[in-house]
Chain A
Amino acid sequence: MKDNVVLDLSELPPHGLGTASQSWWGTLAFMLIEGTGFALSIVVYLYLMSLAPRWPLDAGPPDLLPGTTLTALLLASLVPNIFLARWARKQDLLKVRVGLIVMSLLGIAPLILRAFEFPAMHIKWDQNAYGSIVWVMLGLHTTHILTDLIETLVLTCLMFSRHGDNPRRYGDVSDNTMYWNFVVATWLPMYACLYWVPRI
């Protein structure tokens, strides 16, 4: 087929940022997948609760301290995360490096708190269905903190390497901050479900 040139694209930027980047949309699609997973885990929790004669089954309500501290920490982590996103947009290498180190630490801290959250539930996964769903919900969310932490650590190394100062990397950092917002946002309904629904 013959062609007839009518459009010149050479002045377009060589890399798209934000909604003009594929990885932004890809991250969004994966968030939709995982968000559906989180939502379904809450549905399973409520379904099992609706069947149980009393809830929680054979356990008191979970201790509030570790989970609430973790929630507060996650919410607080949004502040440096938003700054990091801004610095990545401005392609400020030095600030992005600092921001990534901070966010790496803020990825490790919740994992430490999480270690206290499991025992605060007063139930093991193999005692009854309540224990099973509680551990799976905590486990599911912990996996997300962990994977985001690993991604943040790799990005931190990358930004200190010679590959760092590049619009594509800043785009990666910016997608990573978006994903962390998602990890925090999904925790809030999980927190309400795990800690406050048993107290209703």
Chain B
Amino acid sequence: MTPKDNREIRDTAFDAAELERRLAATWTTPPGLLGALSTVDHKIIGRRYITTAFVFLALGGLLSLLMRLQLAQPEARFIGPDRYNQIFTTHGTNMMFLFAVPVMQAMAIYLVPLMVGTRNIAFPRLNAFSYWMYLAGGLLLWIAFVLDTGPDVGWFAYVPLAGPQYAAGKRADIWAQMITFTEVSALAVAVEIVVTVFKQRAPGMSLDRIPLFVWSMLVTSFLVILAMPAIMIASTSLILDRLVGTHFFNPAEGGDALLWQHLFWFFGHPEVYIIFLPAVGMVSTIVATFTRRPVFGYLGMVMALIATGVLAFGLWVHHMFVAGLPRLGESFFTASSMAIAVPAGLQIFCWLATMWAGKPIFKTPLLFVIGFIVIFVIGGLTGVMVASVPFDTQVHDTYFVVAHFHYVLVGGAVFPLLGAIYYWFPKLTGRMLNETTGRWVFGLIFTGFNLTFFPMHILGLRGMPRRIYTYQPEMPWSGLNMFISLSAIVLAAGFLLFFIDAIRSARAGATASANPWGATTLEWATPSPPPSYNFAKLPLVDSLEPIHDDAFLPAAIGLRVDRRELLITSVVEAAPEARESSSGDSIWPLWAALATTVALIWSIFSPWAVVWGSIPVAIALIGWFWPKDVPEDDS
């Protein structure tokens, strides 16, 4: 050991109390506004992300209530067609890009570092940057909506409707640039998660000991990495067509409108799995804890996750069955669309087997899982139906499809997510959600959801097109529409109760112990909520369920406490390779995000923004990376 090493302060030198004090001094975000804006603590950023995403969920929910108000009766006059177009476009865009994807990644930002037993996420400043970018993108969409400039071309913004000829003004550009914001942030988080899972796992957490939620987020992150470039190319081409007169989507000059659909759905279908796979991980975690046994078929579950991830890229054309593509191609995509039901079915049966073999404890998280299985299976069955070209041709663009994708997305993602919030709330806040209220929340949402969305299948079969702002009294749709709108109130009441319970419990709920559910993954081996450094001593993992009954956790020592230091381990075996510093708090990610925001919004209006706007971005990035004479920047 060199003399320099001897001056470094290691955790071996202190007793438990002094060690925790020293670690807190090194890792804790300072109080005050500057501290809040500069923090790189994955738990603070994760909570911020989750809260923001739920605010967007509430806002998007309000829009859906407005639509239900308008559609409750024929020839209603509450909302005009122009505003209605903005409402359904903003609803869909908001729910997909500002709620569903970010909230899943947000859960991972909070949980993955804890579950793999490390002290912060990889690239913590990039994490801070990604949050600011996400927030800016959300504000862009919603401020535009309030100013009557909200996008009105549908959440998939098909050309030529979204092109320069039919979408004058800046509404479609707002949509396209909002995509850039959310994709930059999603890609950044994906890279962080991949590197955290690959290189920061606790010693001994070999590939076959990674918790299923972490596996699901790893596969999801690869889907993000491979799918999101397609939408960035698509939205950039759209902006170019609209701003500088390129002809990507203009058939008169050699472009092609269907090119948009290919690019969009090459992203858009994996997007469904980007939302669904994290939910699968949440379900596996909850099922294991509340049946008191490991999930049946761990290897099969991991293989199913990977298989779903691969197959997700072979399905996009089934969104385009009525676009007039060659018949052979359609048959191929029908086959692959049905094939993906195999890994999905495998997972469902593994969960059922786990519950069958275990002793299920029916707490709120497990209720949401059961709700998920019921609703998702119905959504999956209608999915197999619309995978068939003749059937799809009949119901395309009707409420049948609206019903189908709400069953898949709300059933497949929101139910597990709500279960996950009930499950991990103690770890997020240090307090428990109310169990009795939780049962009411589940009951209202489950009933309200089915009463709202199941009749939409029938409306679709009766020919009601989606995205219409009103309909005539002669149509056989008004009774069901009134029923759906009334049911939506039940659903909304469930969500309202959830929000009330969450806010109330976060302030005054029962205090949670470190491991209130008796779970076996590492996040429960540290207090609720965890200290800034996550683990005073890094845990060691010797099985899939590292927390044993004997309540002794094997631990590692030897890390420095005078700089933020974590452990790098090998990809397969998770054998220790190096100690590594983790970046400290910095205000520069915020400046970089602000500079990027200015450049991106400006570039809706002038191509020169790309030139002039990137200068402040470059300055902010240099400020971000330039060493600052802190122990973290040296080695």
Chain A interface (Cβ < 8 Å from any Cβ of B): 1-16, 19-22, 25-26, 29-30, 32-34, 36-37, 40-41, 44, 47-48, 51-52, 57, 125-133, 135-136, 150, 154, 158, 163, 166-169
Contacts and interface: CB of A to CB of B under 8 A. Distances in A.
B429 interface: no
A128 B241 CA distance: 11
Interface string B234-263: 001100110011111010011110010011
Given A26-B191, A37-B229, A47-B262, 7 more contacts: A4-B555, A5-B557, A10-B12, A10-B559, A22-B195, A25-B122, A163-B626
B558 interface: yes
B123 A6 contact: no
Contacts of B262: 47
A196 B635 CA distance: 48
B237 A126 contact: no
B578 interface: yes
Given A9-B579, A12-B578, A33-B187, A1 B635 contact: no
B470 interface: no
B580 A37 contact: no
Nearest to B569: A20
B317 interface: no
Contacts, number: 207
B554 A4 contact: yes
Given A22-B123, A29-B195, A133-B248, A2 B581 contact: no
B5 to A, nearest CB: 8
Contacts of B555: 3-7
A1 B626 CA distance: 40
B244 A52 contact: no
B622 A6 contact: no
A150 B618 contact: yes
19 contacts: A7-B540, A10-B558, A12-B577, A14-B565, A14-B578, A15-B581, A22-B122, A22-B123, A22-B195, A25-B122, A25-B199, A37-B232, A40-B230, A44-B259, A126-B244, A129-B250, A131-B246, A132-B247, A163-B633
B556 A4 contact: no
B547 A1 contact: yes
Top 10 A-B residue pairs of the complex, sorted by shortest distance between their CB atoms: A10-B558, A15-B635, A16-B578, A9-B558, A129-B254, A132-B246, A3-B555, A126-B245, A7-B556, A129-B255
Given A9-B576, A37-B232, A26 B254 contact: no
Interface string B329-349: 000000000000000000000
Contacts of B240: 125, 132, 136
Which one of B536, B539, B627 has the highest number of Cβ atoms from chain A below 10 Å of its Cβ?
Answer: B627
Contact of B579 (A13, A135, A168): A13
A143 B225 CA distance: 19
A45 to B, nearest CB: 11
Contacts of B190: 29
A57 B557 CA distance: 66
Interface string B93-130: 00000000000000000000000000000110000000
Interface of B: 1, 5, 10, 12, 122-123, 187, 190-191, 194-195, 198-200, 203, 225-226, 228-230, 232-233, 236-237, 240-241, 244-248, 250, 253-256, 259, 262-263, 266, 514-515, 525-526, 536-540, 547, 551-560, 565, 567-568, 570-571, 576-581, 618, 622, 625-627, 633-635
Nearest to A57: B254
Given A14-B579, A15-B578, A126-B247, A26 B622 contact: no
B556 A9 contact: yes
A68 B112 CA distance: 47
Given A3-B552, A5-B537, A40 B254 contact: no
A44 B122 contact: no
A125 B239 CA distance: 13
Contacts of B626: 154, 158, 163
Contacts of A7: 203, 540, 554-558, 576
Contacts of A36: 225-226, 229-230
B174 to A, nearest CB: 22
A166 B635 contact: yes
A168 B628 CA distance: 13
A184 to B, nearest CB: 20
Contacts of B525: 1
A154 B577 contact: no
Contacts of A132: 237, 240-241, 246-248, 255
A193 B198 CA distance: 35
A12 B579 contact: yes
A193 B516 CA distance: 59
A90 B564 CA distance: 27
Contacts of B635: 14-15, 166-168
B270 to A, nearest CB: 12
B48 to A, nearest CB: 22
Which one of B540, B560, B577 has the highest number of Cβ atoms from chain A below 10 Å of its Cβ?
Answer: B577
A126 B187 CA distance: 30
B537 A129 contact: no
A88 to B, nearest CB: 14
A129 B558 contact: no
A128 B5 CA distance: 64
B254 A21 contact: no
Contacts of B122: 22, 25-26
Contacts of A57: 253-254
Given A15-B580, A44-B259, A168-B633, A130 B254 contact: yes
A167 B526 CA distance: 33
B554 A51 contact: no
Contacts of A21: 568, 578, 580
A100 B226 CA distance: 32
Nearest to B538: A9
Contact of A26 (B195, B515, B539, B634): B195
A149 B568 CA distance: 30
B165 to A, nearest CB: 15
A3 B233 contact: no
Nearest to A32: B225
Nearest to B126: A26
Contacts of A22: 122-123, 195, 199-200, 568, 580
Contacts of B515: 1
A10 B560 CA distance: 8
A17 B540 CA distance: 23
A167 B4 CA distance: 15
A48 to B, nearest CB: 6
A154 B625 CA distance: 10
A125 B558 contact: no
Which one of A25, A51, A132, A136 has the highest number of Cβ atoms from chain B below 10 Å of its Cβ?
Answer: A132
Given A132-B240, A168-B635, A2 B551 contact: yes
